[in-house]
Structure formats: C-alpha cells, structure tokens
Chain A
Amino acid sequence: MRRVRVIPVLTIDRDRRLVKTVRFGKRTYIGDPINAVRIFNTKMVDELLLLDIDATVDGRAPPFEAIGDIVEEAFLPMGYGGGIRSVEDAAALFALGLEKVVLSSEALTRPALVTEIAERFGAQAVAVALPHAKKLLGGQQVLTRSGKDKTGLSPVEAAKAMAAAGAGEIILTSIDRDGKWSGYDLATIADVAGAVDVPVVACGGASGLDDFLPAIQNGGASAVAASSLFVYRASGQGVLISYPDEGDLRDHLFQQLD
C-alpha cells in the first residue's frame, strides 16, 4: 500500500498564538500551538508544518525559542517557515530538531538562498511555499509577504525557478481557497505538478477526507496539507483539533491510489 503524507499546517502570529486565516486575511484565535502539537502527536499525524505568518512582514527573524518549545513536543517530522533569511537561520532551526525549513518571500527574491541551504543540508530539507491568487484578468499569480506583494510570476514559472534553485519540495497554497472549505485548486496543482519533478504539496481549500484523493490522483500532488479542516469541528463551527484516523485514511485515500 502506498502512503501519501497528510499534513496539518499550523499558523502562528507575532504573539506566538495559533491563529487561522481566511484568504490570508481575517484571523481567528485557535489556541496555544504547543497544546495543538501535543494533540497532533497523539493523533499520529504524518508531518506538521509550522508557519509564522507575521515574521516576514515584521522584518523579524524566526522566533527560535518559541519554535524550540514547540519542536520539543513533536515526535514527528516538522517543518518551519517564516522570516528565514540566511543559511545561519536555517542552521539554527535544524539545530532545534526541525526536519525542513520552508522559504517563500526571501527565496523568490533571492533564489541563491535556496541553493545554499540545499547544498549544505540536502534538497529534502528545503521546501518553498508558493502562495498564489487569481489575477484580475484571469490566471494565477504567486504573491509574497503573506499575500501582500505581487511577483508577476505564474505558479508554474515560480515552481520551475525554485526547483532549479534546489528546492526539494513545492508547497502550493491557493490564497483564494484558504479557509474557504471549497476543495483544492486542482487545475493549478496539475499545472505545477506536471511542470516540476520535485514533490508538490497541495494546500488551501480542503473540506474533508474526500478532497485528498483528487489532489493526488487528478492533480498529481505528492502530499496534501490542510489547516481549517484540522482545527475546526466543521465549516463555521468551533475549534476542535482533529486528524483522520489510520483506518479512514486507508479506506478513503491510500487504498484508492493506483
């Protein structure tokens, strides 16, 4: 049986609180990230991604101490993104026990950083997140700085450039679907997965277990990530940290894969 990774994405703000955004905008307070990670441990999650969504906009370095406290509770592979601007930042994060670093804004303006980190720590240790949104006149464009700045690059162009720079993985996030429970952007996933050899992680819009299979089978993603789905009871309802159990993942996902 082939397994694919199902990855909860945890977003923290400048006060190190776990928050959930809608379309990278409106925020809802979810809780304490350490507590959430403890729960995800017991729910046997494959992998976790922790993103500080204010670090780059604030011009701040990653909050190393807070990240260390969180990683200490995570007995699973965990990635971190937000505010990473140098190989030294990445080295400090790996020293905390992280499995990979996630670059985005800095990588798109300075692809050499991706190359430097990949050369030192291996391509598998560096992922690049590409948040993208619909352009006014159609088509998708990659944005930086938490969706504030336009790059003028399509997701395919950006993914090719990042893979060429040495990224081991592309995390493709639809801003328009963030927090909207509307399913993954299968067309963009398929475009990008077809254009690069590195694994593509689908993110943005998942509303349930049934959204995972098409992202893998039709979209060609190698893994699926979600946020709202794993921190809310359901769309429009209260906070509940959850994760599908192994039996459901086997029945609805792994055993359906070719």
Chain B
Amino acid sequence: MITIVDYDAGNPRSIINMLAYLGHRAELTGDPDRIAKADRLILPGVGKFDWGMGRLHEKGLAAPLDEAVTARKVPMLGICLGAQLLTRGSEEGERPGFGWVPARTVAFDRARIGAKLKVPHIGWADTEWSTGCRLSVPTADPRYYYVHSFHILCDDPATELCRATHGYGFAAGVERDNVFGVQFHPEKSLSFGMAVLRQFAGL
C-alpha cells in the first residue's frame, strides 16, 4: 500500500490513476494516524512553498511524516512542490522545509536562462539519471513533464538523482537514503513516468 499525503496542495488524482494502472494500491489521506502507520509515502503537491508547509503543520502531518521518514526510514517520494519541501527551505518562502535532503530550493536564475526561455518552465525535458541511484530508471532517452518556477540545488552533486536543462542544467531530482524527490510529474509522463513510480513502489 502506498500512502499519498493529502494536504490540499494540487491534485493527486493522476498519481492514483497511474498507480492503479500499474497494479499498486494507494490511499489518499490527510489523517496523521494513517501517516504514522504508512510503509511507503508519496508527498505530491502543486502550489507555493510556505502554503504547502503551512498546511502540513496545520493538519498535524509534519510530525508523523518526520517520524516516518527519519525514525522508521519509510521510503518517501516527493513530487514537484513535494520534492522541494524535502529540502531545508526555499527562496519562494520563509518557512523551513523538512531538511531530509542536503539541498535547498532556489528560483530559476532568469539572467542565466536567456531571453528566449520562460519561467515557469512548463513542458517536457530530456532528463539524465545519475548512475547508481536507487530510483534511477534504465530507460532510453527518458523525458518527463515539468511545471515549476523553482528548482532544487544540492549541496553535493553526488545527491543529485537526475538532471535536466532549462537554459542551464538543474537538479531534477534528489536522493538520500530512503528519501527521493523529483521535480517533474511522473504521473503525467507516459511510460517514462510509469517506470519511475514502478521503481519506487518496488523499493
């Protein structure tokens, strides 16, 4: 059973659809007791950093999530905003993030992107997986669907899970121990995304 955290940030319907298609049972819940019992977690999310972190605290989910990830070592996959919340914090807001991965979240540097490209970065991007990561997926020419204005910046490039380019190369994913985050939307990324969710479900 995969537990998807419901904190009113965006819509996890497509994640549930894809997991069902792959034959994995998923529950969507905002109940702290369910989170405390989860054995595999997905933190989805679309929206602003402070708002998302605030909702997790208001709903009493931040503490059981921290316990699940740091004490029980439950596999956790953050998607989009969910991936950014795994970091220490974001230029988008004031609140601290979970800090489970040695990284922070920064705004796209418009000066480095160039005039032709826009922020938010919306669309498909070829994405290169780092070798040796547990979530890395052996697919030819993988590409994923992105919608974001901020991206993860890892303290140590060794924790980068994958990289994509929007004007300049950025960390498209991060991995540390049982914690994984991807900036793209696997649930909207065809068989490329299915391979990622399948890999996570099988860890």
Contacts and interface: CB of A to CB of B under 8 A. Distances in A.
Contact of A76 (B120, B122, B125, B190): B190
B145 A95 contact: no
Nearest to B140: A246
Contacts of B125: 3
Interface string A30-74: 000000000001001010000000000000000000000001100
Given A75-B187, A75-B190, A76-B145, A97 B122 contact: no
Nearest to A197: B118
B141 A96 contact: no
A124 interface: yes
Contacts of A99: 147, 188
Contacts of A44: 190-191
B91 interface: no
A95 B28 CA distance: 13
B70 to A, nearest CB: 32
Interface in A62-107: 71-72, 75-77, 94-97, 99
Contacts of A97: 11, 13-14, 17
Contacts of A95: 11, 13
B21 interface: yes
Nearest to B194: A75
Give the bracket for the number of chain B residues in contact with chain A: 20 to 34
A212 to B, nearest CB: 15
Interface residues of B: mostly helix, strand, loop or mixed?
Answer: mixed
A5 interface: yes
Nearest to A41: B190
A257 B3 CA distance: 43
Contacts of B122: 124
Interface in B57-114: none
A170 B147 CA distance: 17
Interface in B124-162: 124-126, 141, 143, 145, 147
Interface in B12-26: 13-14, 17-18, 21
A1 interface: yes
Contacts of A46: 123-124
Contact of A3 (B11, B46, B143, B188): B143
A67 to B, nearest CB: 12
Interface string B30-56: 000000000000000010000000000
12 contacts: A3-B125, A44-B191, A75-B189, A76-B190, A77-B145, A77-B188, A95-B11, A95-B13, A97-B11, A97-B13, A124-B120, A199-B118
Interface of A: 1, 3, 5, 41, 44, 46, 71-72, 75-77, 94-97, 99, 122, 124, 199, 246
Interface of B: 11, 13-14, 17-18, 21, 46, 118, 120, 122-126, 141, 143, 145, 147, 185, 187-191, 193-194
